[in-house]
Structure 1
Amino acid sequence: MHKSLVWLEGLPRFSVLKFNLYRAWLLLNHLVPEYRDFEVFFIAGSKGKGTVASTLAAILAQAGIAAGLVTSPHLLNLTERINFNGADINEETLEEYVADIRANLPELSQEYGAWIFGEIILAAAFMWFRDLGARTIVLEAGLGGRLDAGNLFRRPLATCITTVSLEHQDILGDTVAKIAREKAGVIKPATPLVTAAKGEALTVLRHRAVRLGAPVYSYPSDFAWQEERALALRLPDKTLALSTKFATEADKANTAMAACLATFHPLMTDKAIVEGIKSSPRLPGRFEVLLGRPAFVLDVAHTPESVANLQAAIVRRHPGGKLAFVAGFLADKRATEMLAIMLSTTELVYWAPVLDQRSFTPEGLSGGIQVDSISEGIRAAMSQADVVCITGSFAAVREARLFLVQRG
């Protein structure tokens, strides 16, 4: 890896002194003030953000709109986070932008702490998009929403909060309502909000939207799939016929949200929405199926809700097949609940720490089979199951992918 990218990877992920937008504002206005001219779709939420963002980018491409795409985290390569018109930035180009940023960082007073990873990579992405002549950007929020750098865009084309569930409780809050209030920070005055949030979370989002005069489009009440005779997507102002298959119910909701968001671009067409959904690539690690004996399913599900959705999809796709899970969790996730969901289907649940400094520790987990590594869990599961699912975190899927590639 190039020197500047090593420096970038070594930066802290979070500020230890202040959570605010000043550092991002200072950096972008110093290095790429043209960012203010971008038309932005801003996407936050507890899960599904990457799928919504990448599907929306594919729809925009079908409409002839060359769009920049920023997602996180990456699975294998840092370059996965920055994409323009369907192609990821290459490592050499990213190195050049990061080196330029590093050499020209504006002076930052001590009270604001050090620069963090997300601010630098966002600046690099915007510089690349500017130089390529991009005008439309699909921007996935990182942690939370209220203090994400995407809030520097005061009037995006539309915002999205996919879902809200308990996550990052040490930072975002220890209840769904508190986390929803953090994510509601992405809602902007008179700007459409698209969401699949439910219950208490949706109530919080609606309350904020009403205060700001932002129209809310909620899945599945305001837009939804119809399957009476043939599959069709009912959007707020039209219904589109499609012939797409979905692996999970979450896939259906995420695709519907992307389509609904797309309608708020002035150059969008019905054909582009249909063709964009058909052509949208499945992201690695999102119900990624590797056929064989056994078959492998790699999925970055990291909440109890998403693990339950994943489990149901596997059972539906492989009825009667013997299933094994290999799981690894991060410390701030609800590992006990996820493990219990897996154990409700099979006794073959292997769990291990992951290669991440935020990995969970074995204390407090019970049930299943503890192993020393994800690769050890895969080896043990392979001889006992027809389907082996690796899940629980990006880190677990990352290790599994590397192991399976090396194994051939």
Structure 2
Amino acid sequence: MNMTDVIKLVNTNRGTGKKESLSRMSLLMKKMGNPQESLKYVHIAGTNGKGSTSAFLASILNESDIKVGVYTSPHLERINERIQINGREITDEEFIRLTEAVAPLVEEVERELDEVLYSFEILTAVALAYFSEHNCELVILEAGIGGRLDATNIIETPLAAIITSIGLDHMKVLGESKEQIALEKAGIIKHNGVVIFPEMSPSIDDIVLKKARSEKAVPVQIRQSDILNVRLSEDDSVFDYKDLKNISIQLLGRHQISNAVLAIETAKILQGKGYTIEASAIKNGLMKAKWPGRMEKISEEPTVIIDGAHNPEGIEHLKNNLLRLFPDDKLIFVVGMMKDKAYMEMIRTVFPQAEKILAVSPDPYRGFDAEETAQKIVSEGIPAKAFESVESVVNNLKTSAQSDDKIVVFGSLYLIGEFRTIWK
């Protein structure tokens, strides 16, 4: 087996059956010896903000000399990014070895159940085996889609569960309303656990609180009124939170402050469960945290910001952040989204700030039609142009952009990852 074989198994559109339970994941883990049972977890679900919150918390734990595994998705440039210990990605050799060990057990499960496991289920099993093998003191486990029936929910009660946000995405799987989606994501709240979550809306907050009560879990809700003295710039954000003053983060945007605060409150929960985490480690960890592809500045002249906003909530955050950072500027946008998204509705959100919009499909099969999208944008009064590839967009910008231009690339993480690689 080589890495191409690994990717065919753990990162393709394989899988059958609408999951009604975690029974097949449970069977696979049982055949593996239940490696997940040897680990302690922080479990994270949410429409947006999971990766950033994971990055903030992982950085705090790194500063505290805690051996922490991190499992996130999707990746930007290579699949190894998804499985890390203290910032170091799983090596190709370890990825291949563990996948070779898991693959025959997958075949057994599929024969016994007459179903085909999803790639994410197999990848999660590989990650849990890796973290167990390396004796991680704690694992930050990010749910893929939803929570209740997500493969990551095979674990028992985590030390803390975090719900970062609730928005409209993956509606065919999770439900047509925010309330239905909230019910699915609240499925990571378990008996006698702790759940940390922000202020959302009365109906969503109520769903989280009801689930916490039913599981006898302790709810910890972030109050925006506790976040004070916020100062945003192109390079960092600074704020106060309760007894912590002048907290600086490099992840740009007002919403990242909320994600940082989720990490702060989680660190405090972990302190109460025996982990040594000093206030200085919290501040230093937040300052050092990086999460590529999310409001990330990759160039100064011209200014280039890339952001994986690809659902309505993410686009709203992007718009508000850009208005704060560049209130008087017109921006060049590059956009690429999947055709199953309400992409024109989301693109219209940035019309007021757009000098022009460059459209490119992020995927030849699942991406929108760039030419058709550009024509629609032009018909609504905004200059636009279609490109055949991400490379052609980058080449165009590198030859035509002025040093004082401000370019914002947003949409599918496939676009963001490819753009980031080619630009650099």
Name the counterpart of 1:42: 43
CA distance in 1 between partners of 2:152 and 2:91 (Å): 23
1:217 aligns with 2:233: no
**Superposition deviation, residue 210 in structure 1:** 2.2
CA distance in 2 between partners of 1:111 and 1:344 (Å): 53
CA distance in 1 between partners of 2:327 and 2:18 (Å): 51
Name the counterpart of 1:277: 286
Q: Is the alpha carbon distance of 1:3 and 1:399 closer, same or farther for their aligned partners in structure 2, counting shifts above 3 Å? A: closer
> Does the CA-based 8 Å contact 1:17-1:113 persist in structure 2?
no
Name the counterpart of 1:122: 124
Name the counterpart of 1:367: 377
Secondary structure at the counterpart of residue 248 of structure 2: coil
Structure 2 stretches of 5 or more lacking a match?
232-237, 379-383
CA distance in 2 between partners of 1:110 and 1:82 (Å): 29
1:346 aligns with 2:348: no
> Does the CA-based 8 Å contact 1:161-1:197 persist in structure 2?
no
Paired residues for 1:251-400 under 5 Å:
251-265=256-270, 266=273, 267-269=275-277, 270-280=279-289, 282-355=290-363, 357-361=365-369, 366-368=376-378, 369-371=384-386, 372-380=388-396, 383=400, 386-400=405-419
Coordinate RMSD, CA, aligned = 2.5
| C-alpha distance after superposition, 1:229-266 (max 9, x if no partner) | 984222xxxx2224404521111011110111122212
| C-alpha distance after superposition, 1:79-108 (max 9, x if no partner) | 000001221111222111111211443343
> Does the CA-based 8 Å contact 2:77-2:418 persist in structure 1?
no
**Superposition deviation, residue 380 in structure 1:** 4.8
Give the stretch that moved more between structures: 93-102 or 71-80.
Answer: 93-102
Name the counterpart of 2:248: 244
**Superposition deviation, residue 109 in structure 1:** 4.3
> Does the CA-based 8 Å contact 1:326-1:374 persist in structure 2?
no
Q: Is the alpha carbon distance of 1:169 and 1:65 closer, same or farther for their aligned partners in structure 2, counting shifts above 3 Å? A: same
Q: Is the alpha carbon distance of 1:194 and 1:252 closer, same or farther for their aligned partners in structure 2, counting shifts above 3 Å? A: same
Secondary structure at the counterpart of residue 350 of structure 2: helix
Count of aligned residue pairs for this structure pair? 399
| C-alpha distance after superposition, 1:21-42 (max 9, x if no partner) | 1121111221142311211110
Secondary structure at the counterpart of residue 75 of structure 2: coil
CA distance in 2 between partners of 1:30 and 1:323 (Å): 54
Secondary structure at the counterpart of residue 196 of structure 2: strand
CA distance in 1 between partners of 2:33 and 2:69 (Å): 15
Secondary structure at the counterpart of residue 206 of structure 2: helix
Name the counterpart of 1:90: 91
1:68 aligns with 2:69: yes
Q: Is the alpha carbon distance of 1:303 and 1:156 closer, same or farther for their aligned partners in structure 2, counting shifts above 3 Å? A: same
> Does the CA-based 8 Å contact 2:162-2:197 persist in structure 1?
yes
Name the counterpart of 1:139: 141
Name the counterpart of 1:402: 421
CA distance in 2 between partners of 1:112 and 1:296 (Å): 49
**Percent same amino acid among aligned pairs?**
27
**Superposition deviation, residue 179 in structure 1:** 0.9
> Does the CA-based 8 Å contact 2:28-2:105 persist in structure 1?
no
**Superposition deviation, residue 364 in structure 1:** 8.0
Secondary structure at the counterpart of residue 57 of structure 2: helix
CA distance in 2 between partners of 1:331 and 1:220 (Å): 37
CA distance in 2 between partners of 1:395 and 1:243 (Å): 32
Secondary structure at the counterpart of residue 241 of structure 2: strand
